[in-house]
Each structure stands twice: as structure tokens, then as C-alpha cells.
Amino acid sequence: MPKSTTALSRRALLALGGTALMLASAQAQAQAQQTVKIGLILPMTGPFAGAIGRQIEAAAKLYMAQNGASVAGKTIELIIKDDTGTPDVTRRIAQELLVNDKVSFLAGFGLTPLAFAVAPLATQSKTPQIVMAAGTSSITEQSPFIVRTSFTLPQVTIGIADWASKNGIKKAMTLVADYGPGLDAEKSFKERLTAAGGEITGEIRIPLRNPDFSPFLQRVTDAKPDALFVFVPSGLGVQFMKQFVERGLDKSGIRLIATGDVTDDESLDSMGDVTLGLVTTHHYSAAHPSPENKAFVEAFRKAANVRPNFMAVGGWDGMHLIYQALKKTNGDTDGTKLVEAMKGMSWVSPRGPISIDPKTRDIIQNVYVRKVEKVNGELYNVEFSTFEAVPDPVKAAK
Amino acid sequence: MLSKPPSTRPLGAQAPSPAAFLQARAAWRWPEILFWISAFGLILLFPNRHLLLNEIAILGLFALSLDLILGYAGIVSLGHAAFFGVGAYAAGLLAKHGVSEPVTGLLLSGAAAGLVGFLASFMILRGTDLTRLMVTLGVALIFHELANRLDWITGGADGLLGISVGPILGRFDFDFAGTTAYTYSLTATFLLFLLARRIVHSPFGLSLKALKDNHLRAATIGIAPNRRIVAIYTLAAVYAGMAGALLTQTTQFVSLEMLDFARSADALLVLVIGGSGYLYGGLIGAIAFKLMKDTLSAMTPAYWIFWMGFILVILVLIGRDRLMATLARPFAPLLKLLGARRP
């Protein structure tokens, strides 16, 4: 078989050539002294690229542009990688960042499974893992090196459950994305509402990938509850609202309540007037009335040409946490010292006053009740009531 | 070690006996030996890329498993990830519940996937390519949803947590740079490759090729198709399951993505790149695919999928063989020196 023999040899040679190229690129990443590297792993492709990846990337870059690329005598270098949405690849990327690039921080993590997959690496290598996006409560329990600057779903969900029971909602249905944060949201909403005397008449879970809401919304129409509580990750809100209107649920008298993920600032304005009056609870709104937020929103718009959402603020605060921790350790990049420095740290973020719980390494922050309103011709979540300094309720109850 | 290719025999000479024909095909050729020496050489050469190499070895094994049914038995499948996932979850659950020795876990996971493959094989006995595509796709979707729903066993969409994998054979611990992982995956891939090579160059392998070429004719000369298809499909499932188990053991994490449609599609793409029906296609395709993905996503984290698609379209439009021939032309003198013939 001469054909296959030579074909094989050509292929074998090509493979060798390919590996040689790989070596060259690896060797080029030479070590630089006095540089602190941050490995930022984000969803840069796929359905979560716009609402999570690009928002956090822009916020992190903006923070570095405003606060300088050096702290405590060290130059900060940001290495941005695409997580490709798969845990095994994310883990490999994190491991390579640790082994080859010698990063001192791992940061980002758009979805819960990705944060879970990297957690053992953070423990083994004693590297702080800053979770800037993922919102399942149990993430911080996976490694003593995980610190979170985003939020947890139970944290923002109990607010809307309280609001609902105070506003005469007795029978409610839940509709959540079928993964960690969604189940967290479903559970805390149910517990909180039933404790206040309410009733859950139906629980719907929709697949995270390629969600089609219409068959589920039909079930809601048939069951006619007082209210429908919704959690879908940021980025899927537009699709949900569209189908909600198409099914005529906006005129059915069923009240829609949600966590702020649905009325994500990044896409809220494109959802149209159907969202007017929609009540949600969340930890950040671009309309938050504070001088810190005004400056942040203005600078972010100039830099990224979009409105910052809660992911952006998570990225911004994550960078702030890293900078402050380095300042506190005087540039020492020992992971244990850095995490110790982060514990109990508090500052005023664009979202309001926040702190890192020294016990759980999770974030403590205000949760706001907001209503969608038109401000200067654009739709915004306007805050009208505040739950102050809310810890993650799941871990607080333990 | 070098064999004379059978087609160079003078015109009019007697056709070789089947045994001699098979023996000639089964003889080792120098590029093969070079391929495996360089694969093992990489253990020493690139200490900082072992994690990527580990992924390549596993994807290679997975594609090899698909090649067994696609390239040798002509069964098209869009759901090969089902077996990959079954193996992956089996390895994860074994490691979580006590069986932390990887080699034992690997064998048991392979067996679990093989059992599923055996049962599933009866569904693809009848029907044409299109029905097989649908059936295999459907089986994979069912397993994906099962893993999603049975979250008290599998961890659902969050993935299976708490997997701790012990040292290999009680001796070699998995290290941080991935050297043990790569050595382990490559050794497993190599051994399974040897077995596959033996099988496809056996009378059984030859009869599969006959079935692939013409199902009816093969049946009329006395080759029972069903038993052979069940056998090769089960074997391919074992291979895929072992690939999944390797990924679980070397990354210590299992999630729904193991059963994803994209994983089945990736394996097919790898075979499109590397070529099917000669066993090396999966391995070479895996190298090209992963390197391309890694390089492109490092260069443009946000737009690499575009370039990946672009390259694949070019590859298919121009044709792999023509492209490779052009690329290999500069090396022709070197190849000649080493004793290769031009086609």
C-alpha cells in the first residue's frame, strides 16, 4: 500500500512540524521579574460572551487604566483567556496559567461548573481564586482560596420573596434555569415565601442550553398563579421577555417578578416597554444613585460603548480586591497571605458599600428592590427600597 | 520491519494468500514507529505543555474509537459522546466512592461503557446512514438528559464534585504540571491503539471492511453482518468510555459537557481533518484540531471560533489530501532520503 505509507509519512512530518511550532510559542513566554500576573478566564465566545465576558474584561481593563498598572512596586499584567464554556478546558487553561505563566491570581469564572472545576487547583497551588461572576452559594466552600466579588442567588432572591409576600402575592410559580444558581434561586424563593404564608403552585426548570420558554410559559398561563418568579442567567433575559410577550402573559394578570439577572443592564433597553414596572431585586443597577456609580458608568460607557451591568461591577470590585490585597501584603504574592488580607476588607463600590465576610470569603452587600422605569428615554432599574448588608443566607444559616 | 507494499508486485503475478495479504498490511512501517517515539519523546521535551498533550492524547483515543466504527464498519454516528460520557461518569463515581486507583477505574469504566454500547448496538443494526445518525444522536441526548436529571448521583448541571484520584498502581501520583497525566493517557492510548491495530488487521477486521464496502455482497459470501457490527460497536464504546475515564481521572472533574453534542461533533471533525479508516487519522486529526484551537484561542480569545470555522471550510473545500500534498512538498527530498515513495 504505497499510497497510505507516503500519506502517513507526510502526516507524521506535519505533526512533528506542528509540535515544533508549539514549543517555540511556549518558550517565547519568558518569565519577567517583578510582575504580578492575573489569569482572567472568561466566556469570550458563546451565549454568555456579551453579558459576562466582555463586560468583565472591559471593567478589569478600565480599573487598570484608572488606577495604574502597578501596585506596591509590582507591575500588574492581565492575561485574558476564553473558557470555551467547558469545565475540562477551563481547568486545563487555569493549570497552564499556574504552571507556565506563574499567575498569582485566577479570576473570572462565568458559570458555576467552571468555578467548581478550578477550585481544587486553587487549593493545591494556594492561589487566590476570585469569582467575579458565578452565583451558586456553595462555590466558596469548594476551596479556602476562593473569594467572591459577585453575588449569590439566595442573597438576591430572598428580597424579592419578602417583597412579594408584603405585596399580596399568595400563589406563585417559579421558573428557573436548570443549574446550580437556578436551583439555589428556586429553593430560597420557595422557603422564604412559604415561611411568610405563601404557596408555590408549580416549579419549572428549563435547560440552560438553547432554552425555549414557550411550552413552559403555556403551563404558567394554564395554572394562573398570582405571580411568576423567574431566574435566567444574564444574557437570556431578552429571549425570555420576548416569548413572555408573544404568549400574551403580559396581559394575563399574572405578575412577573424576578432577580435582576432578567433585567440585566446590558440588554434591558433593548427589551422594550413591556418591562416597564417590572419589579426585581439585585445588588447592582446602573442607575444606582451615588457619585461612585456615576463616575463608573460614565467611564465605562466611554471605554466600552455599552452600559455596565452587574457582571462589570463584579469584575471591577474583583480587581479592586486584588489591588488592595497586594497593597496590604506589600506586594507579597503568597496566596495564603493574600486571602488573609482580603478577609474582612470593605470598601464603597459603584454598587454601594460592600465587604468580604471573613468567615465565608463571600460578599456582603446591599440588595435593592427596583422597578423598571424610563429615565431620559432609556429603560433603567430604579431602586426604591434597600435590604442592608445582606450576607449569603445559605451559609449564614449554617 | 519495512515491508514491500503488495501493489508493487509484477503484473500477472499470483495474488497473495489472504494470510500473506494481512501480514503485509500488519507490518510496521517506519513513520508509525517515528510517530510513537516522538509521542513518548514529548514527555521529556515539552514539560510545560503536558496538559494540552494530555487532552490531545485523550481526544485522539476518542476519535480512534469513532474511526473503528466509521472507518472500518461504515457506521456514521453523531452520538459517540454517549459512551465517552458513560465512561467519564463511571470513572468519576468510582473514584468518589472508594475505587481511587486509576487503572482499575479505567478498566471498570471501559466495561461500563462497553455494556451500554452492546445494548445500544442493536438499535443500529437496521437502517441506513440517516437513521443511524438519528438513533445515535438520540441515544446521546437521552444520556445527557439522564445525567442532568439524576443530579443526586451525577451532580446535575454543576458537575460531579469530590473526585479524588489516587496514585497510578499505587505509585505514581498525578503532578501539577500534568506529566504523569500525559504519560498515563499516552500509555493507555498506545496500548489500546496496539490492540485496535491488531484487530483491524485480522480476518475479522477485513470482514468489517467487506461489510462497509458492500453490505449485501458480504452477506452473500457468508459474512454475518449483525454479529460483527455488535462486536465492533461494543469495542468502540469501550474505547470511548476509556477516553472519558482518562479525562475524568486526569482532570478530577466530570460535568454534563462530557455528554455534549459538541463532543460527538468534535470527534467527527477530528476524523474529517485526519482522515478515517487507517487508525492514525484520529490521532493526527486530534493533534491538528487541538493545536489549532489552542493557538487561535490564545491569539484572539473572542473571535477564534470564526477562524476555526474558516480553516475547516477551506480544508474541506480544497480537500485534505491535496492540501497536505502541497504542504508536504518542501519535505519531499527529505522523505525520499528516508525511503518514502511518491504516490
pLDDT value for B98: 84
CB contact under 8 A, A9 and B38: no
pTM for the whole structure: 0.81
DSSP character at residue B254: B
CB contact under 8 A, A23 and B158: no
Block residue for cell numbers 436548570 = A178
Judgement on whether residues A66 and A192 belong to the same structural domain of the protein: no
CB contact under 8 A, A99 and B52: no
Measured N-to-C along each axis, helices B225-251 and B81-96 cross at an angle, to the nearest 10 degrees, of: 50
- Residues in A 50-89 with any Cβ partner in B closer than 8 A: 53-54, 80-82, 84-89
Judgement on whether residues A270 and A392 belong to the same structural domain of the protein: yes
Of B69, B65, B82, give the one whose Cα is nearest residue B136.
B82
- B177: nearest CA in chain A? A99
Residue B203 lies in a domain: yes
Whether B288 contacts B271, CB under 8 Å = no
Within 8 A of A81 by CB-CB distance, chain B residues are 297-298, 301
Residue B321 lies in a domain: no
pLDDT value for B126: 81
Of B242, B102, B115, give the one whose Cα is nearest residue B163.
B102
C-alpha cell of residue A312? 462589570
Cβ of A192 under 8 Å from any chain B Cβ? no
Distance from CA of B136 to the nearest CA of A (A): 20
Q: Which domain holds residue B252?
A: 29-299
- A96: nearest CA in chain B? B51
- Residues in B 57-116 with any Cβ partner in A closer than 8 A: none
- Which CATH number fits the domain that encloses residue A296? 3.40.50.2300
Residue B340 lies in a domain: no
Judgement on whether residues A83 and A161 belong to the same structural domain of the protein: no
- Which helix (H) or strand (E) segment holds residue A255: the answer is strand A255-259
* Overall domain count for chain B: 1
Which amino acid belongs to residue B79?
Answer: G
- A43: nearest CA in chain B? B302
- A24: nearest CA in chain B? B46
pLDDT value for A7: 46
Block residue for cell numbers 463532543 = B263
- A139: nearest CA in chain B? B158
- Which CATH number fits the domain that encloses residue B165? 1.10.3470
DSSP character at residue B259: G
Q: How far apart are CA A341 and CA B38, in angstroms?
A: 47
Judgement on whether residues A268 and A317 belong to the same structural domain of the protein: no
For chain A of 398 residues, list the mean pLDDT of each consecutive stretch of 10: 46 54 47 77 87 92 92 91 88 92 93 91 93 91 94 92 90 90 92 91 84 86 91 86 87 90 88 88 93 94 92 95 93 92 94 93 94 91 92 85
Which amino acid belongs to residue A298?
Answer: E
Residue A23 lies in a domain: no
Judgement on whether residues A108 and A67 belong to the same structural domain of the protein: yes
Judgement on whether residues A295 and A334 belong to the same structural domain of the protein: yes
Q: Around B1, how many Cα atoms within 13 Å sit in the side-chain half-sphere?
A: 8
Residue B292 lies in a domain: yes
Judgement on whether residues A325 and A385 belong to the same structural domain of the protein: no
Cβ of A123 under 8 Å from any chain B Cβ? no
Judgement on whether residues A188 and A51 belong to the same structural domain of the protein: no
C-alpha cell of residue A354? 460592600
Judgement on whether residues A388 and A258 belong to the same structural domain of the protein: yes
Residue A56 lies in a domain: yes
Judgement on whether residues A206 and A261 belong to the same structural domain of the protein: yes
ipTM above 0.90, yes or no: no
Sign of CA dihedral B117, B118, B122, B127: positive
Distance from CA of B251 to the nearest CA of A (A): 7
* Overall domain count for chain A: 2
Q: Which domain holds residue A126?
A: 35-151+290-361
DSSP character at residue A320: H
Residue B329 lies in a domain: no
CB contact under 8 A, B343 and A2: yes
CB contact under 8 A, B35 and A21: no
CA distances from B81 to A87, B66, B88, B124, B125 (A): 16, 10, 10, 16, 19
DSSP character at residue A283: S
Within 8 A of A2 by CB-CB distance, chain B residues are 5, 7-8, 341, 343
Cβ of A10 under 8 Å from any chain B Cβ? yes
CB contact under 8 A, B255 and A88: yes
- A232 CB contacts (<8 Å, ≥6 apart)? A176, A177, A182, A206, A211, A240, A261, A262
DSSP character at residue A349: E
Residue A122 lies in a domain: yes
Cβ of A47 under 8 Å from any chain B Cβ? no
Residue A21 lies in a domain: no
Extract the residue ranges of chain B whose pLDDT is less than 70: 1-14, 320, 323-324, 327-343
Residue A105 lies in a domain: yes
Beta-carbon contacts below 8 Å between A and B: 181
Residue B193 lies in a domain: yes
CB contact under 8 A, B328 and A14: yes
- B322: nearest CA in chain A? A7
Distance from CA of A282 to the nearest CA of B (A): 23
Length of chain B: 343
Of B283, B311, B284, give the one whose Cα is nearest residue B297.
B311
Among candidates A6, A80, A120 on the partner chain, residue whose Cβ is nearest the Cβ of B340? A6
Residue B309 lies in a domain: no
C-alpha cell of residue B143? 444520556
- Write out the DSSP string of B15-75: PPPHHHHHHHHHS--HHHHHHHHHHHHHHHH-GGGHHHHHHHHHHHHHHHHHHHHHTTT--
- Which helix (H) or strand (E) segment holds residue B273: the answer is helix B261-274
Of A173, A181, A113, give the one whose Cα is nearest residue A150.
A181
Judgement on whether residues A221 and A278 belong to the same structural domain of the protein: yes
Residue B1 lies in a domain: no
Residue A27 lies in a domain: no
Cβ of A130 under 8 Å from any chain B Cβ? no
Judgement on whether residues A343 and A373 belong to the same structural domain of the protein: no
